[in-house]
């Protein structure tokens, strides 16, 4: 949160005497830069086709009329206009309905800075400052708290869109009326401000100029708001030379060309603040550039520490006239909500520390999932087609949060999947025209009530394709043609659907279905004869195929030779093929049995050719899309190994995407470690076997494939066990080909699972096979300890750090899973832990290859085998390098 009223900032940053900023500072700007992608709404601006360029920022503002269909227009008192920018002179208020939302059609997975500005200005003559909430999508963003009648309050958030549609909502929480003065969206580079989860609420964004002035566009091409900080313990230095700000954060030149240094050069530089919430998590971004001309014997080097001397970044030297951004890749927190950073000269340094810019964000956890994107689009189209804009509750997300669900809807809710619409009641809504096909996009619909309207045209045949639809009420529509399509009649006949017309459920009249018995008999006899002939033909053809095939020859499908050891079910694996959606419905018995749920979608049990399969259906709300689906199909159609889950087939049938795998009867490794699979504890022998087999599958991807593959999502939930507890690596949707022309890495958007994600890959976007090695190292530590990867209740949050910390006490028993009751080989335990810690080394160059990992794991298994056979073979344990584990979870990256 950034406020023009400085009062709250004074509370948050105890070490600074902040310069009071009551209004926007007015300063001269050069010609406006490109504003493509900007959305700048002056709320309440009329008439509809009006636009203007604000004088101090050169930003072009437009009315908000096209983005919202509710609210009243207001104007602030004229006496306040002179001290405020033009976009705050008008506003839109919302006296009706509890939630009112702005709607934007954008692009999913895009990152935006969203800014709302609020100036009350006694627009309603009540002289009573309102209080209300601000939401982004179905999740609360913040509570709007205004400090005065004429003070402008700004709230900013950095948010990644989960859908192609964004909603910003004002929510009434008391007796006062919500309002908004301006709403602005600014696209950001997706590689900046990366979080492991959640969005970022701006808490502070500051720089250190000689003359305090508020800074934004067009000095900042992303239109971020920068506030000046003034402190009597520091002084500002500057340069007239341009600074290279070409890293991904695009720091403005006025920020880069100025810096803060201690007023007393012998003293450290200190930054303090309080988040005001002991549960809050934060991300910090520090921007540094050397802006002074250093003499040959001058050095500027300093250590950055936090909270009483813990190392944040040691021996840092700012680059000459070039910005370096230092940030933490994981969110940080503090037991009391207070933080302090200290910048201290090292023994080598002759100059004091400096800093050019500082940004602090609080994490906003996004817990409520948006309604399925296709269903959201369908509902908004239905709203437009039937002119339902006056339905007060039809604002924002149709299903979420549940308390603001649209009138007439019922939805299903799940912790891991997007809400889905299961019933729609539009009775007595004065609907006219035909029944829109948009309704067919509500694929989970079970009940539809369109009764007592003025609909016309035909009863649509698409109702027959809505497999879950059980009841349709079309009564009370006198102009609707009551003829029932043939496809719909079939569903009525088998009683899988009830259709109400004029208050009754129509049945197929006997007179219409009467057929002479002779004709029926002849038809039945003819069909029977055809079936007999077809059966004889198929039997003869099958015998002919068997006699012509060479004994033991592998079958070939789509040009791929099938190996007998590919799966425990070779009879079905030899039938790799494209499968239709009706076949998927049949093999799963209409998705009767759920095996599990994940980011891709739901996995169902199925039967194909008398063998069990697992059918993974792509959810329309899944973060993984067609690109990941296609990648996994293409990979598994050409990759075959006994420790990679085999692909039986795939469905690419319109909107229905599915992967059909061999069935892994014993679930995933995580379930087995937790005891959820029957409560049995995996023995040390089982764990060694699983580790070796999973490593062999991963090693094959790295070295046995052409081109080599990087899995990118190695974790315990992606290691599956068959009926013999044989381990196989699964889920290849994020896998990527690896260059074989001598390059050691590729550049790609970061993907993976928090906790398992290689920190070097996270910081640099450079992907290599060593990224998989890091993830596998985390898996090994889980196998040994049976501890969660991330546990905020532990003294060390991440399992890597916790193991390193516990091993400083010198006893392997401190970390091995106590459920084993001591039944394991100590030497093999030491060796596997050493191997795991080598795998999770922060530097990829110091990690082993998967080939080396396989060799070492086989040695671990051999040690345990020797113990079980009674011959104790000692393993000489060397010193474990724990230096890489001493790094704090707050350890920053730099760009």
Find the angle CA(421)-CA(468)-CA(603) to the nearest 5 degrees. 85
- Reported as half-sphere exposure (CB side, CA atoms, 13 A), residue 266 has a value of 0
The first and second tokens of residue 154, run together, are 């700004």
- Please list the residues that pair with 129 across neighbouring strands: none
Name every residue whose Cβ is closer than 8 Å to that of residue 253 and which is 6 or more positions away in sequence: 219, 242, 243, 245
DSSP 619: P
What is d(CA 480, CA 457) in angstroms, rounded to the nearest whole number?
Answer: 5
- C-alpha Rg value of the chain to the nearest Å: 32
The first and second tokens of residue 7, run together, are 């009062």
The first and second tokens of residue 28, run together, are 């001269």
Start-to-end CA distance of the chain, whole Å, equals: 25
The first and second tokens of residue 419, run together, are 């809400």
The first and second tokens of residue 228, run together, are 């000046």
- Please list the residues that pair with 171 across neighbouring strands: 99, 133
The first and second tokens of residue 754, run together, are 């928090």
Q: Where are the alpha helices (DSSP H) in 198-337?
A: 253-256
Catalytically annotated residue among 42, 713, 772, 856: 713
Judge whether 649 and 643 are in contact, CB under 8 Å. no
User: Pairing mode, if any, of strands 556-557 and 601-608?
Assistant: unpaired
Judge whether 370 and 418 are in contact, CB under 8 Å. yes
> Is 616 marked as binding a ligand?
yes
The first and second tokens of residue 753, run together, are 């699972």
To 10 degrees, the CA torsion angle through 420, 426, 430, 433?
A: 60
What is d(CA 327, CA 895) in angstroms, rounded to the nearest whole number?
Answer: 9
Which residue from 802, 813, 814 is spatially nearest to 778, judged by alpha carbons?
Answer: 802
Find the angle CA(151)-CA(157)-CA(158) to the nearest 5 degrees. 150
Which residue from 895, 792, 764 is spatially nearest to 281, judged by alpha carbons?
Answer: 792
Judge whether 226 and 207 are in contact, CB under 8 Å. yes
Q: Is 653 considered catalytic here?
A: no
Name every residue whose Cβ is closer than 8 Å to that of residue 741 and which is 6 or more positions away in sequence: none
Which residue from 107, 76, 313 is spatially nearest to 180, judged by alpha carbons?
Answer: 76
Q: Where are the alpha helices (DSSP H) in 728-768?
A: 759-764
DSSP 3: E
The first and second tokens of residue 415, run together, are 């912790």
SS3 of residue 472 by DSSP: strand
DSSP state letters, 401-453: SGGGPPTTEEEE--SSS--EEEEEE-TTS--EESPPGGGGG-TT--EEE--SS
b/e code 326-360 from CB counts within 10 Å (16+ = b): bbbbbbbbbeeeebbbbbbbeeebebbbbbbbbbb
Q: Name residue, tokens 């300093």.
A: 302
Q: How far, in Å, are 191, 242, 528, 732 from residue 702 at the CA level?
A: 26, 45, 56, 13
The first and second tokens of residue 20, run together, are 């009071």
The first and second tokens of residue 527, run together, are 């069909």
Q: Where do the DSSP E strands lie in 609-717? A: 611-618, 647-653, 656-662, 709-710
What is d(CA 141, CA 362) in angstroms, rounded to the nearest whole number?
Answer: 11
Q: Which residues are annotated as a binding site for ATP?
A: 616
Catalytic residues: 713
Q: Which residues are annotated as a binding site?
A: 616
């Amino acid at each position: 949160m950034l406020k023009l009223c400085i009062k709250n900032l004074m509370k948050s940053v105890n070490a600074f005497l902040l310069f009071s900023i009551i209004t926007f500072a007015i300063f001269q700007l050069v010609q406006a830069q490109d504003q493509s992608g900007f959305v700048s709404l002056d709320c309440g601006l009329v008439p509809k086709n009006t636009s203007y360029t604000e004088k101090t920022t050169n930003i072009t503002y437009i009315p908000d009329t096209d983005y919202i269909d509710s609210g009243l227009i207001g104007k602030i008192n004229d006496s306040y206009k002179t001290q405020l920018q033009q976009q705050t002179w008008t506003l839109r208020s919302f006296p009706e309905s509890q939630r009112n939302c702005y709607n934007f059609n954008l692009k999913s997975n895009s990152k935006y800075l969203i800014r709302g500005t609020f100036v009350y200005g006694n627009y309603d003559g009540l002289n009573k400052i309102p209080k209300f909430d601000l939401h982004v999508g179905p999740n609360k963003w913040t509570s709007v708290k205004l400090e005065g009648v004429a003070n402008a309050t700004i709230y900013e958030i950095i948010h990644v869109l989960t859908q192609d549609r964004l909603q910003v909502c004002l929510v009434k929480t008391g007796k006062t009326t919500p309002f908004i003065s301006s709403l602005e969206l600014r696209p950001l580079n997706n590689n900046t401000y990366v979080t492991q989860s959640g969005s970022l609420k701006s808490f502070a964004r500051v720089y250190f100029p000689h003359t305090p002035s508020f800074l934004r566009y067009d000095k900042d091409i992303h239109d971020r708001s920068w506030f000046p900080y003034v402190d009597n313990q520091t002084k500002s230095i500057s340069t007239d030379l341009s600074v290279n700000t070409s890293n991904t954060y695009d720091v403005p030149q006025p920020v880069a060309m100025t810096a803060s240094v201690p007023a007393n050069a012998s003293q450290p530089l200190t930054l303090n603040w309080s988040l005001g919430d002991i549960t809050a998590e934060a991300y910090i971004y520090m921007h540094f550039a050397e802006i002074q001309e250093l003499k040959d014997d001058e050095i500027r080097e300093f250590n950055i520490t936090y909270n009483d001397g813990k190392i944040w970044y040691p021996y840092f030297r700012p680059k000459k006239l070039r910005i370096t951004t230092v940030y933490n890749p994981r969110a940080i927190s503090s037991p009391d909500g207070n933080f302090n950073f200290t910048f201290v000269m090292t023994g080598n340094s002759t100059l004091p520390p400096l800093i050019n810019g500082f940004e602090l964000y609080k994490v906003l956890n996004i817990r409520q999932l948006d309604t399925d994107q296709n269903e959201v689009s369908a509902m908004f189209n239905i709203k437009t087609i039937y002119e339902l804009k006056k339905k007060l509750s039809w604002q924002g997300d149709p299903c979420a949060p549940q308390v603001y669900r649209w009138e007439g809807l019922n939805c299903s809710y799940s912790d891991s999947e997007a809400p889905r619409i299961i019933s729609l009641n539009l009775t007595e809504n004065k609907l006219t025209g035909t029944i829109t096909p948009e309704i067919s996009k509500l694929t989970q619909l079970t009940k539809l009530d369109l009764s007592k309207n003025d609909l016309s045209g035909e009863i649509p045949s698409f109702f027959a394709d809505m497999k879950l639809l059980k009841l349709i009420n079309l009564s009370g529509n006198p102009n609707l043609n009551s003829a029932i399509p043939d496809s719909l009649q079939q569903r009525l006949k088998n009683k899988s659907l009830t259709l109400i017309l004029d208050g009754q459920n129509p049945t197929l009249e006997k007179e219409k279905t009467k057929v002479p018995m002779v004709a029926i008999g002849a038809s039945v006899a003819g069909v029977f004869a055809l079936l007999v002939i077809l059966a004889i033909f198929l039997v003869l053809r099958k015998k002919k195929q068997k006699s012509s095939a060479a004994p033991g020859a592998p079958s070939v499908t789509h040009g791929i030779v099938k190996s007998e050891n590919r799966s425990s079910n070779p009879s079905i694996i030899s039938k790799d093929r494209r499968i239709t959606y009706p076949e998927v419905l049949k093999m799963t018995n209409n998705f009767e049995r759920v095996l599990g749920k994940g980011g891709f979608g739901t996995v169902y049990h199925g039967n194909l050719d008398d063998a069990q399969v697992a059918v993974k259906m792509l959810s329309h709300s899944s973060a993984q899309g067609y690109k990941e689906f296609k990648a996994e199909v293409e990979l598994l159609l050409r990759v075959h190994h006994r420790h990679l889950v085999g692909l039986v087939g795939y469905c690419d049938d319109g909107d229905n995407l599915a992967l059909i795998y061999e069935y892994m009867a014993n679930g995933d490794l995580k379930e087995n470690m937790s005891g959820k699979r029957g409560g049995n504890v995996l023995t040390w022998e089982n764990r060694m076997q699983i580790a070796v087999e999973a490593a062999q599958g991963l090693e094959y991807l790295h070295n046995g494939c052409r081109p080599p593959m990087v899995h990118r999502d190695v974790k315990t939930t992606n290691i599956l066990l068959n009926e013999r507890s044989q381990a196989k690596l699964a889920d290849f949707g994020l896998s990527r080909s690896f260059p074989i022309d001598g390059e050691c890495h590729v550049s790609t958007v970061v993907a993976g699972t928090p906790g398992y994600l290689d920190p070097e890959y996270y910081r640099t976007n450079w992907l290599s096979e060593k990224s998989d090695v890091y993830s596998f190292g985390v898996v090994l530590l889980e196998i040994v300890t049976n501890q969660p990867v991330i546990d905020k209740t532990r003294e060390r949050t991440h399992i890597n750090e916790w193991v390193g910390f516990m091993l400083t006490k010198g006893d392997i028993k401190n970390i091995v899973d106590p459920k084993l009751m001591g039944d394991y080989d100590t030497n093999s335990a030491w060796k596997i832990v050493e191997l795991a810690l080598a795998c999770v080394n922060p530097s990829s160059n110091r990690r082993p290859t998967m080939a080396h990992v396989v060799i070492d794991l086989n040695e671990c298994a051999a040690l345990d085998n020797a113990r079980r056979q009674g011959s104790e073979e000692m393993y000489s344990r060397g010193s474990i390098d724990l230096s890489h584990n001493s790094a704090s979870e707050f350890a920053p990256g730099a760009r």
